[in-house]
Amino acid sequence: MIQETGGSVPPNTDHAVSVSLPTWKDNVAYEEGELWLVNKMQCGYPRFFVHPIIQELAQEVISRYGNPEVDAATLFPSPNTARVCLAFLSSKIPSEDFQKVRVLDFVPTQQLETELPTVTSILSCVIYPKDHASVAKQVWQHSGDGISSRRGEFCLSALRDGLIVEKKSAAADATSQKFYKGPRRYQGRGSTNGIGKGTSATQPQDGRESVQFIEERFGRNLSTSLASQAKIAVRRRIAGVLTEDVELSEALEKTSEQGRIAGLDESDVSLFPTGMSSIFNSHRILLKGRGDLKSICFGFPYIDTLKILEKWGPGCLFYGRGSSEDLDDLESRLVSGERFLALFTEFPGNPLLKAPDLKRIRSLADKYDFAVVVDETVGNFLNINVLSHADIVVSSLTKIFSGDSNVMGGSAVLNPHGPYYRLLKDTFAREYEDNVWVEDAVFLERNSRNFISRIEQINHTTEEITAMLKESPLVKNVYYPKYSPSLPLYEAFRTPNGGYGGLFSVTFHSTAEAVAFFDNLEVLKGPSLGTNFTLSCPYTLLAHYGELEWANSFGVEFDLVRISVGLEDIPVLRGLVEQALDAVAKVHKA
């Protein structure tokens, strides 16, 4: 399947999660910020590329409340999430510039609020000097708490129609003091209420009736009243109570004999707007519950997990290889009296698909008093069951749980038998807020109804394709749990009917051969994984372009190609891989 450079992945999808970068050259140009490539991009991975509709909403806010010449805005779903950005800016930019930073909170009009009973907050905007946009972008990327494109689309229309309004200054300042303990919001120059000059959204407009607006926006077949039911269904599905491919109305009534582990139910599952948000907020809540202690990042992680642990809180101890020797070093530190907040790890890791020694980690955690947070996104909870050895299991629901690559989501599951369960349960009750937008929840529920059958098919196909690549002398390495030296560690947590997942990585004997394989592999190309269609990317290039030597020091090669297998028939996908290997053979002979 060919998609033009910069087009949405999947094609013709307004809220696509990925973007087409079909050649090696395209990926380098993206990382270099070359305009010929950037100007073609219709979308991108949402935490790295701000969706055009969100950009338009930010411009609308600036035109009304700021100065387009000097100001920029980053948009969040709630006052809490906006104040995280505010606090980060206060620690990173000069104080004289921070005095120009302000937060605007928007709320639905009373009539619109009646039509959106499940929405607790609608929009919060951090406005700051545009010279510091890269600092605010770090919060957007790492925290995963920026607004979704569907929320942005709704808010843009609602703002223009006068159906969402700015919270009064006194109320906004009171909210700021409640959630943010730093300096009070400063008034901008030429402003009497902390807002720059511009047209006020609270001025009466010829807006449509909110009932009409809601019906036009959502339609009769996508009622926002389903959002709360959809979230319950998703939480139950994750807990293991719901497993059948049934309609929502039936699914809410169906249960199985037990969940993933005894005593687990949907009350132990929290939903987040992105997978990274589930990691960021689990870390934040652990800091709230246990105090300011360093964390441990064990194994080569998805890059933003490490950045979260480094940039928020007192820092982290990083073990990039995730080896037994690393655990020996950790144990010696623990014996000597070092204390830690939590150990964060992936099962298996991305992109090398290596499993950590979770049993030994749990033993050390119990003995030396630290929590264990496991990201199971790549393994997914139908293939593996790691909850018994974790305190929190996080996952990106954007990936195989959804599959359609048109909605973001994340989850955090508490182990009801974990040593920190009561502390975490109480702290989540105080600190958690539901920022999953209503439309996103409905799409996530609908997409995930058949996730069991999809995962089973993808498991089988991936085993066939990786076996084929393992046999080729043109291939240097295939990274897949089934072929990893850490296979016994993976098998210890594989479910009775589970497989090895749909993600693998492959390397070749030269960069030229890797480029030939990637450029000639006729599948969709772009960031993300766990899609219903096969998706490939030069992973190290995309994730670690500015730190390639650092990544290589942990065995993650520069020219590694990562492939996420989809639902294509095996003969079709085998043919596409053979065609790409033929291109490698030509380079090899040259």
Give the model's pLDDT for residue 183. Answer: 32
Distance CA 51, CA 19 (A): 11
Q: How many helices (H) and strands (E) does the chain have?
A: 24, 18
Q: Are 186 and 51 in contact (CB under 8 A)?
A: no
Give the model's pLDDT for residue 512. Answer: 97
- Which residues, other chains included, contact 551 with Cβ-Cβ below 8 Å and sequence gap of 6+? 300, 540, 543, 544, 558
- In the DSSP assignment, the letter for residue 147 is P
Give the model's pLDDT for residue 260. Answer: 60
Give the model's pLDDT for residue 369. Answer: 97
pLDDT tens for residues 446-469?
999 999 999 999 999 999 999 999
Give the model's pLDDT for residue 154. Answer: 92
Res. 111 pLDDT band, cuts 50 70 90 = confident
pLDDT tens for residues 396-428?
999 999 999 999 999 999 999 999 999 999 999
What are φ and ψ of residue 127, in 5° steps?
Answer: -105, 135
Res. 218 pLDDT band, cuts 50 70 90 = low
Mean pLDDT, rounded, for 152-156:
94
Res. 198 pLDDT band, cuts 50 70 90 = very low
- Is the model's pLDDT at 203 over the cut of 60? no
Distance CA 521, CA 514 (A): 11
Mean pLDDT, rounded, for 240-254:
40
Distance CA 155, CA 243 (A): 34
pLDDT tens for residues 320-337?
999 999 999 999 999 999
Nearest to 329 by CA among 341, 315, 343: 343
More confident residue, 565 or 168: 565
Where exactly are the structural domains of the chain? 14-167, 224-448, 452-589
Distance CA 219, CA 217 (A): 6
Distance CA 377, CA 394 (A): 7
- Is the model's pLDDT at 292 over the cut of 50? yes
Res. 259 pLDDT band, cuts 50 70 90 = very low
- Is the model's pLDDT at 243 over the cut of 60? no
Q: Which residues of 377-387 are buried (b: 16+ CB within 10 A; e: fewer)?
A: bbbbbbbbbbb
Nearest to 396 by CA among 503, 322, 298: 503
Share of the chain above pLDDT 90, in %: 78
Q: What contacts 24+ positions apart, CB below 8 Å, involve 480-489? A: 480/353, 480/504, 480/505, 481/348, 481/353, 481/355, 481/379, 484/348, 484/352, 484/353, 484/354, 484/355, 485/354, 486/348, 486/354, 486/355, 486/356, 487/355, 489/355, 489/356, 489/357, 489/358, 489/359
More confident residue, 250 or 425: 425
Q: Are 558 and 510 in contact (CB under 8 A)?
A: no
CATH topology of domain 452-589: Aspartate Aminotransferase, domain 1 (3.90.1150)
Q: Name which of 148-157, 199-208, 568-577 the model is least confident about.
A: 199-208
Q: Name which of 202-216, 239-253, 417-431 the model is least confident about.
A: 239-253
Res. 187 pLDDT band, cuts 50 70 90 = very low
Res. 216 pLDDT band, cuts 50 70 90 = low
State the number of CA atoms in the 13 A half-sphere of 385 facing the CB.
13
Sheet of 524-525: strand order equals 475-479, 503-508, 561-564, 535-537, 524-525
pLDDT tens for residues 17-40?
999 999 999 999 999 999 999 999
Q: Are 379 and 401 in contact (CB under 8 A)?
A: no
- Is the model's pLDDT at 170 over the cut of 70? no
Give the model's pLDDT for residue 223. Answer: 60
Mean pLDDT, rounded, for 64-77:
96
Distance CA 522, CA 499 (A): 26
pLDDT tens for residues 482-526?
999 999 999 999 998 899 999 999 999 999 999 999 999 999 999
Q: Are 493 and 385 in contact (CB under 8 A)?
A: yes
Give the model's pLDDT for residue 256. Answer: 36
Give the model's pLDDT for residue 219. Answer: 57
Q: 10 Å Cβ neighbour count for 36? A: 10
Give the model's pLDDT for residue 228. Answer: 87
Asked, colleague to colleague, whether 224-448 and 452-589 share their fold, the answer is: no
Does the domain at residues 224-448 carry the CATH identifier 1.10.10.10? no
Give the model's pLDDT for residue 263. Answer: 82
- Is the model's pLDDT at 177 over the cut of 70? no
- Is the model's pLDDT at 244 over the cut of 70? no
Mean pLDDT of the chain: 88
Global pTM value = 0.89
Nearest to 123 by CA among 88, 99, 87, 159: 159
Res. 181 pLDDT band, cuts 50 70 90 = very low
